[in-house]
Amino acid sequence: MRQPVTEAFVEALRRLVAPDRVTTGAEALDTYSVDGLAREGHRPDVVVWPDGVDEVAAVARLCDQHLVPLVPRGAGTGYTGGAVPLFGGVVLALERLNRILEIDRSNLLAVVEPNVINGDLQQAVERVGLFYPPDPASLAKSALGGNVAENAGGPRAFKYGTTKRYVLGLEAVLPTGDVITTGGRTVKNVVGYDLTSLLVGSEGTLAIITKIVLRLLPKPLATATLRATFASVSAAAEAVSAVIDRGVEPATLELVDRDSLDAAQAYLGERLAPAGTEALLLIDVDGFASSIDEQASRVDDACRAAGAVEVLRALDAETREALWRVRRELSPALRTIAPLKLNHDVVVPKGRVPELFDLIHDLRQRSGLRIPSFGHAGDGNIHVNVMADPADADQVRRAHEVEQALFRRVIALGGVISGEHGIGFTKIPFVGLQLSPIEIALMRRIKQAFDPRGILNPGKMFPERPAH
């Protein structure tokens, strides 16, 4: 049903939008063919930079009329190809919708356009004593519209929840060009179906987000960081449960395994933790100054009871950052191990994290591959990175076997195949492991309710044909 982009169609786009904001130039087409994963690119036929909601609506309407695929794109930092135009057509680059429209202290909210960078909003609200918790690793580069489309998480999600918890309302353009607003400026709202939550995490397949109302919190008054090292992953996982058992809800509860630590140490050329460390936990506690000591002591006790080898504590920003350094350097460090990284963000119920690490250990042994794993242990959400050399066909084959086994066994543990990165197109082959044909068919019908002609970000989230 999709139609190719014609010269006349591009001319029509130029009339709707300023001519210098429409291009078919090779360089732009290449730039907009990939996302943060930077592999498996697909070129669009044309890139358009709309200037506001009216232009977005006009472009959508034109694409709908002409059955031309339309792929909305924020900062393009996703990991599963959500912004990659699989079938050509139009990439709608939202870069010009990049203003913080409002920071409203008395109502504890911000109104932003989709291409405001997460970190820029964080800084802006913190300057006035407020706090926007979602902190994906990409926060210095990723756009809030993309964060909403993917329901981005981050370390602070353990205590504060993911992006979903902070989206009060949206303005969005349907593929047919109609503009809707969902939710509003209040925390509570039970009028009609919760379209806000439905759009969050819908990966640009239902509507194009043009404005976001975000809930803010008062900034925590104090924070401390603890770092505990363990001689086994299971002891670290036990410490996670022990912390929660002691009534503490840390802001973050991050785990780094030995493969990851080794990579970071090799990359930085220095020792970051005692010899024999098999796992380390990074735990932030925040809240009232008066409670920080109690919280830190409870965490300390819990870690030692679980067998921690060493527990360090930092109260000031500089020392805290030094403890976090190992975690921050993981992404660049892993790139140095092997060029191909199949990175997954599986989730298991939080009590089953030890079983997940047993599974990873087993996969490592069987495949002979390195599988550095780290992440949000408090949420049971672990980034499992299967490393391989793409020039070595056998390694690549084993890496894909590991991937299959990982997903199947995570689901058997009561888990899910993605906690943060979404499905895009790279994980479509695995969706059927988690969702039933009936559930997928229902989701397709919902897609159709928004996008009857199927032009918006086609080929994403679900297999193209019903999975019967």
Q: Which of 19, 449, 464, 466 binds a copy of itself (CB under 8 A)?
A: 449
Quick one: which segment of 15-23, 243-251, 261-269, 359-367 binds a copy of itself (CB under 8 A)? 243-251
Structure-token pair, residue 274: 């005692």
List of residues 6+ apart from 188 with CB closer than 8 A: none
365 makes contact with a copy of itself (CB under 8 A):
no
191 binds a copy of itself (CB under 8 A): yes
Name every residue whose Cβ is closer than 8 Å to that of residue 194 and which is 6 or more positions away in sequence. Answer: 182, 183
Give the C-alpha separation, 96 to 278, whole Å.
46
Q: Is 400 exposed, middle or buried (0-12, 13-18, 19+ CB in 10 A)?
A: middle
Minimum Å gap between C-beta 196 and a copy of itself is: 8
Rule CB under 8 A: is residue 313 a binding residue for a copy of itself?
no
Q: Report the length, in residues, of the chain.
A: 468
Pick between residue 404 and residue 436 the one whose CB is nearest to a copy of itself: 436
The SS3 assignment for 163 reads: helix
For the beta carbon of residue 130, count every other beta carbon within 10 angstroms. 20
Residue selected from 288, 328, 336, 397 as contacting a copy of itself according to rule CB under 8 A: 288
Q: Which is nearer to a copy of itself, 94 or 353 (CB)?
A: 353
> How is residue 466 written in tokens?
């019903």
Judged by CB under 8 A, the residue of 287, 372, 454, 459 near a copy of itself is 287
Q: Applying CB under 8 A, which of residues 37, 283, 402, 423 lies at the interface with a copy of itself? A: 423
List helix spans (H) across 67-218: 118-126, 144-150, 157-160, 195-199
Residues 320-359 binding a copy of itself (CB under 8 A) are 347-352
Contacts of residue 122, defined as CB under 8 A and 6 or more positions apart, other chains included, come to 132, 135, 139
Taken in order 183, 185, 189, 192, the sign of the CA dihedral is: negative
Contact positions with a copy of itself (CB under 8 A) in 9-68: none
For a copy of itself, which is the closer residue by CB, 88 or 250?
A: 250
Q: Which of 422, 454, 458, 459 binds a copy of itself (CB under 8 A)?
A: 422
Provide, rounded to whole angstroms, the least separation between the CB of residue 448 and a copy of itself. Answer: 7
Q: Rounded to the nearest whole angstrom, what is the least distance from the CB of residue 331 to a copy of itself in the complex?
A: 19
Tell me which residue of 40, 29, 21 sits closest to 5, measured CA to CA: 29
State which residue, 47 or 216, has the beta carbon closest to a copy of itself: 216
Is 173 among the residues that bind a copy of itself (CB under 8 A)? no
- Please identify which residue in 12, 34, 108, 340 interacts with a copy of itself, judged by CB under 8 A: 108
68-107 positions binding a copy of itself, by CB under 8 A:
104, 106-107
For residues 374-393, which are near a copy of itself according to CB under 8 A?
376, 379-381
Q: Residue 250 Cβ, how far from a copy of itself at the closest point, in Å?
A: 11
Q: Of the ranges 39-47, 84-92, 184-192, 330-338, which one interacts with a copy of itself (CB under 8 A)?
A: 184-192
Among 142, 162, 229, 457, binds a copy of itself (CB under 8 A): 162
How many whole angstroms separate alpha carbon 455 and alpha carbon 447? Answer: 11
CA gap 210, 171 in Å, rounded:
6
DSSP label at residue 350: G
Residues 110-129 interacting with a copy of itself (rule: CB under 8 A): 129
* Block residue for tokens 């408090």: 378
- In sequence order, the 6+-apart residues with CB closer than 8 A to the CB of 240 are 253, 255, 281, 350, 353, 377, 378
Interacting residue with a copy of itself among 13, 377, 416, 455 (CB under 8 A): 416
Interacting span for a copy of itself (CB under 8 A) from 9-17, 53-61, 391-399, 432-440: 432-440
